[in-house]
Amino acid sequence: MQNWFEMYSLSQVHKNQTLLRGVLQLITQNFDRVVEGDDFLQLDLSSLTALISSSELMVASEYKVYQAVQRWVQKQPAKRHALLPELMLHVRLPLLSPQEQGELQKDLERWKDLKLEWKLLDGEERLRQSQGLREGMYKPSILCIDSQMCEHQEMEHCCMSCYDPQTEMWEKLPGLESLTHACCTSAGDRIYISGGIYKNSYSTAVYEFSSFTNRWTQLPSMATTRAAHAFLFHDQRLYVVGGWRKFQIFLNLAESLDLATGMWATIAKLPFPLSHPASSVFQDRLYLLGGATGISSHWLFHRGILIYEPRSDVWTQLPLSVGLFAAGAVAMDCGIYVIGGYAEKKRKDSADGTLVPENRYSTRRCFFISGSGKVNRSISIPKLPRGIANAGVVRCGKRIYLLGGEDLTQHYKTIYHWGPGEPRWHRSAMEVPVFREGISRFGCTTLMRPKPHILQLFQAASLVPVAAVCK
């Protein structure tokens, strides 16, 4: 840990933002250990403030943040005690449990110079006042929305289940009425659903699900009906790109929703119509990998990558040596992992390399794309146990999970996971809980769910501390 603080100091001196982000991530992810060390007590005020202000702190209790602040202050009380009111601005007091509130009040009374201000807040107000949870107060889960059940079984609501990778247990959550083949994305504790098809009608609808309330809310609709599109969240905006409608009408239209204002805006069109791309966000840019540009007697593959820069509203095209669509894409620390999908197939016995009528096959191939958009072959990823396309592919913690999927002959409901550095994919004991043979082309994303003791804080209106002020 001493090396972490040395690297932190070096990154500040040399203004190396990449190193600074990496070290801060190490410190925030190991906060409980860090605050017990002597190096923590040597932090300057600005560094301490940056640390305790972070939403990425891996703490399950806000009282531990307060205890860390007091420990730092008591190291040099004569010099630092006057800084306590300023530091308390970064302790998220509404996140304290009733027992922790009592302990905090007793501790502040012992120092005799600060008192708590209280307000009666309902759950929504309390969450807003707290400025959000710390990362350690959430439990990461994988959400699966089986929207095909509506179509196949004439159900009024789709089935939505949440998978806990640690316990390998499933929990059923409220589904959404009249939803099939929609696309989904997530932003922390919220899920977003857009477009899709219901009874041969393409949709413009957009919905939001909150893990605090376990309820769906309809958001303003898109301008264009679509399915099989790219759907991404970035910087408090939802991006909807490409897709198709009526199967053979492919789209190059793109739009974005500002979640703060509820207003949609048209963004730059794709250079060409595209559906079924693998998509991800990395380093403030949107990536679309592969995809299908059309279909006639066979699928038309996009052999390339499209990168969107939100600030300039410009798409950049880069080549890709392989054609693929219906793959998964997961961004991690240094790039994007591309998993499975349908790959382009050529007739082996054809002299001119013409495409066969069924010109696709489900591939086992996985590869890594750097931020520049180039394939980095030095980063090795094992092949999938079988060729799989249209699967749910998500990152949860330090692993990549692949759920369900299909090939040209069958559907699957198996779950595989892999982490960087591991030699192979591992099969989970549990499967996706569907009654059919398998599941593919379904909504799948990571959802951060508040841990039970945290969620309980927001269930009813209560009197909570909102500030610690000088007497």
Amino acid at 379: I
Give the pLDDT confidence of 219-277 residue by residue, as tens digits.
Answer: 999 999 999 999 999 999 999 999 998 777 999 999 999 999 999 999 999 999 999 99
Clarify whether residues 316 and 372 are in a common domain: yes
pLDDT in tens, 308-356: 999 999 999 999 999 999 999 999 978 999 999 999 987 654 445 454 5
Helix (H, G, I), strand (E, B) or coil at 149: helix
* CATH at 118: 1.25.40.420
Q: Would 56 be classed as within a structural domain?
A: yes
Separation CA 63–CA 279 (nearest Å) = 39
What are the start-end ranges of the E strands in 260-321? 263-266, 278-282, 285-289, 292-295, 299-301, 304-309, 314-319
CATH of the domain at 246: 2.120.10.80
* Residue 371 falls inside a structural domain: yes
The model's confidence at residue 147, banded by pLDDT at 50, 70 and 90, is low
Domain count, the chain: 2
- The answer as to whether 204 is a domain residue is yes
CA atoms within 13 A on the CB side of 198: 18
Range in 275-279, 296-300, 448-452 the model is least confident about: 296-300
Residue 243: inside a domain: yes
Question: Which pLDDT does position 148 carry in this prediction?
Answer: 59
Q: What is the pLDDT of residues 105-142, one digit of tens each?
A: 999 988 778 999 999 999 999 999 999 999 999 999 99
Cβ neighbours of residue 75 closer than 8 Å, sequence gap 6 or more = 41
**Does 330 map to a domain?**
yes
Residues 234 and 330 reside in one and the same domain? yes
146 and 76 in a single domain? The answer is no
Residue 236, token pair as written in the block:
């408090």
Residues 277 and 415 in one domain: yes
C-alpha span between 378 and 420 (Å, rounded): 13
pLDDT for the residue 447: 96
Domain containing residue 53: 2-130+464-470
Q: Please give the Cα distance from 263 to 169 (Å, whole number).
A: 38
330 shares its domain with 205:
yes
- Is the pLDDT higher at 246 or at 152? 246
Do 237 and 350 fall within a single domain? yes
Q: Sorting pLDDT into bands at 50, 70 and 90, what band is 152? A: very low
204 shares its domain with 343: yes
Residue 326 within a domain: yes
Instruction: Examine the domain organization and report whether 175 and 152 are in the same domain.
Output: yes
Domain identity same for 10 and 75 = yes
337: CB partners within 8 A, 6+ apart? 329, 330, 331, 366, 367, 368, 369, 381, 400
Q: Which residue has the higher pLDDT, 197 or 305?
A: 305
Give the pTM. Answer: 0.89
84 with 170, same domain: the answer is no
Same domain? 391 vs 406 = yes
Q: Tell me: do 145 and 227 sit in the same domain.
A: yes
Is 458 among the domain residues? no
459 inside domain? no
Give the C-alpha separation, 226 to 231, whole Å: 11
